[in-house]
Amino acid sequence: MSPGRPDKSNTGVMEWLNDRYPIKAWQDFAKKKKVPLVHGTIWYYFGGVTLFLFIIQVLTGILLLFYYRTGSDQAYESVKFLMTKVHFGWLIRSIHSWSANLMVLSAFIHMFSVFFTRAYRKPRELTWITGMILLLLALAFGFSGYLLPWNQLAFFATKVGTDIVGVVPGIGDFMLTLLRGGHEVTGATLSRFFGFHIALFPGIFTLILVVHLALIQIQGMSHPMGMEGKEAEMKTMPFFPNFVMRDLLLWLIVLNVLAILAVYFPWELGQKADPFASAPAGIRPEWYFMFMFQSLKFLPAHILGFEGEILGIMTFGIAGLLWMFVPFFDRSSLRGVKSRKITYIGILIVMFIIAMTILGYILS
């Protein structure tokens, strides 16, 4: 037993396993994994934070399932019941809601840090693509989960959100009906979103997450650009146990932050959804959709003969696709050079997102 490994106290079990499965080979492989020590090392943590928050989501989500009821006549009431009568129900629900937001934030930071360090370059293109899919799924999780309490804000946000989907030319109507389970947002939409949120998305997410993590394990951590060939001189720290310990420490702090948020900023429930009431003032999507929402609002009704909204949505779609395939466009990264163009585009996008998000809140 090597010193500094607090969890391997049970030699007997490990030996038993080792006799049957190539545990030793994995242990050796794990010992080799290294994390570069650079002044950008802090960004290496955000993937883990996102993973941790996802685990929190799954755990609190399962707990919520014990009391949540679907159906437009029971969903809101069951959440109210959760918040008021169930012991610590308020805690589980608020953690679930806050963790969702933090997870999306963390995923964005993780994605942008990978972008700016060009960690997506060869040979890690697939890691980047699976990561982008995971990000999109996280947003889908957020969108579907938001509706589940069936309150006024969620109802109208879903209505607006799915309306936008319907604007896509050709398949828009079909997609809208598919999402809504009908032409309007009703209890059918709720059932569907529930199915998406607890079954379809978790299934796909887990599969792709396993691929994403496996790729990382197989290929190891990406080095900063320009270090090719100089691996031996690079300062690193072992992944096990040093980086893992730091990861755990950070996760503990994140958990504490979640608890503080749950107690001091409990997630509100608001009024039950009433399809016949007028849309409440201040209706808006969750913050991670705000930049799209706000930019669409800015677009004029018609641009060069096309409907502004459709053009806007198509632009976002195409931009997203280009972003997803950036490893194939960024030739410079293959040569080990950070393309200025890519950096500027990245900075522009980040500033655009931040500006639109802020504007979305100020102007509402």
Partner 1 sequence: MKLPIFIVFAGIAFSGIVYAQNDAPQNSCVSCHEMMGAPYDSLVHAQQADIHGKNGITCTDCHGGNSTSMDYEVAMSPAAGFRGKPKPKDIPELCGKCHANPDYMKQYDPGLRVDQLTEYHTSQHGQLLKKGDTKVAQCVSCHGAHGIYPANVPLSSVYPVNVPETCGKCHADEKYMADYNIPTDQYAQYKTSVHGRDLLEKKDLGAPACNDCHGNHGATPPGLTSIARVCGTCHVNNQKLFQKSVHKKIFDMMDMPECITCHGNHGIQVPSDSMIGTTEKSICMECHGQGDAGYIVAQTMSNAIDSLKQIYHHSEDLIQQASEKDMDVSDLKFELRDVRQNLIQTRTMIHSFDTTQVLDIQQKGMKVGTDLVASAKDLISEYYFRRKGLVVFTLVITILAVLLYIKIRQLD
Partner 2 sequence: MSEDAKGSQRRSLLKWLLGGGAVAWLGTVLYPVFRYLQPPEVPEANVSSVKAATVDEIPPDSGKIFKFGSQPGILIHTPDDKWRAFSAVCTHLGCIVQYRQDLDEIWCACHNGHYNLQGKNIAGPPPRPLEEYVVNIQGKDVYVSRKA
Residues that bind partner 2 (CB under 8 A): 3, 6, 63, 66-67, 69, 73-74, 77-78, 80-81, 85-89, 91-92, 252, 272
Choose the one of partner 2, partner 1, none that binds residue 249, judging by a C-beta under 5 to 8 angstroms depending on kind.
partner 1
Least Cα distance to 75 among 141, 140, 155, 138 occurs for 155
Tokens 């720290």 belong to: 237
Cβ atoms of 190 and 176 within 8 Å: the answer is: no
Least distance from C-beta 168 to partner 2, angstroms? 33
CA angle 6, 7, 11 (to 5 degrees): 110
Q: Which of 42, 263, 279, 354 binds partner 1 (CB under 8 A)?
A: 263
What values do phi and psi take at 360, rounded to 5?
Answer: -55, -35
CB-nearer residue toward partner 2: 57 or 333? 57
Q: How many residues bind partner 1 (CB under 8 A)?
A: 22
Cβ atoms of 215 and 124 within 8 Å: the answer is: yes
Least Cα distance to 326 among 136, 140, 138, 114 occurs for 114
Q: How far apart are CA 280 and CA 93, in angstroms?
A: 23
CB-nearer residue toward partner 1: 234 or 237? 237
Least distance from C-beta 9 to partner 2, angstroms? 9
Is 67 a binding residue for partner 1 by CB under 8 A? The answer is no
Is 253 a binding residue for partner 1 by CB under 8 A? The answer is yes
Q: Where does this chain touch partner 1 (CB under 8 A) — which range of 112-120, 125-133, 243-251, 337-345?
A: 243-251
Interacting positions 68-87 with partner 1 (CB under 8 A): 80, 83-84
Q: Which of 136, 234, 260, 322 binds partner 1 (CB under 8 A)?
A: 260
Secondary structure class of 207 (helix, strand, coil): helix
Q: How far apart are CA 334 and CA 25, in angstroms?
A: 32
Q: How far apart are CA 158 and CA 187, in angstroms?
A: 12
Least distance from C-beta 261 to partner 2, angstroms? 15
CB-nearer residue toward partner 1: 91 or 147? 91
Cβ atoms of 67 and 86 within 8 Å: the answer is: yes
Choose the one of partner 2, partner 1, none that binds residue 253, judging by a C-beta under 5 to 8 angstroms depending on kind.
partner 1
Interacting positions 272-331 with partner 1 (CB under 8 A): none
Residue type, 305: G
What pairing do the DSSP bridges indicate for beta strands 236-238 and 302-303? unpaired
Least distance from C-beta 155 to partner 2, angstroms? 15
* Helix residue ranges, H only, the chain: 11-20, 23-32, 46-65, 75-84, 89-116, 125-147, 152-166, 172-180, 187-195, 201-219, 244-264, 287-298, 308-324, 326-329, 340-363
Least distance from C-beta 149 to partner 2, angstroms? 13
Least distance from C-beta 6 to partner 2, angstroms? 6
Choose the one of partner 2, partner 1, none that binds residue 73, judging by a C-beta under 5 to 8 angstroms depending on kind.
partner 2
Four-CA torsion 73, 76, 77, 79, nearest 10 degrees: 140
CB-nearer residue toward partner 2: 62 or 237? 62
CB-nearer residue toward partner 1: 244 or 350? 244
Least distance from C-beta 163 to partner 1, angstroms? 32
Q: Which residues make up the interface to partner 1 (CB under 8 A)?
A: 4, 6, 80, 83-84, 90-91, 237, 241-242, 245-246, 248-249, 252-253, 255-256, 259-260, 263, 266
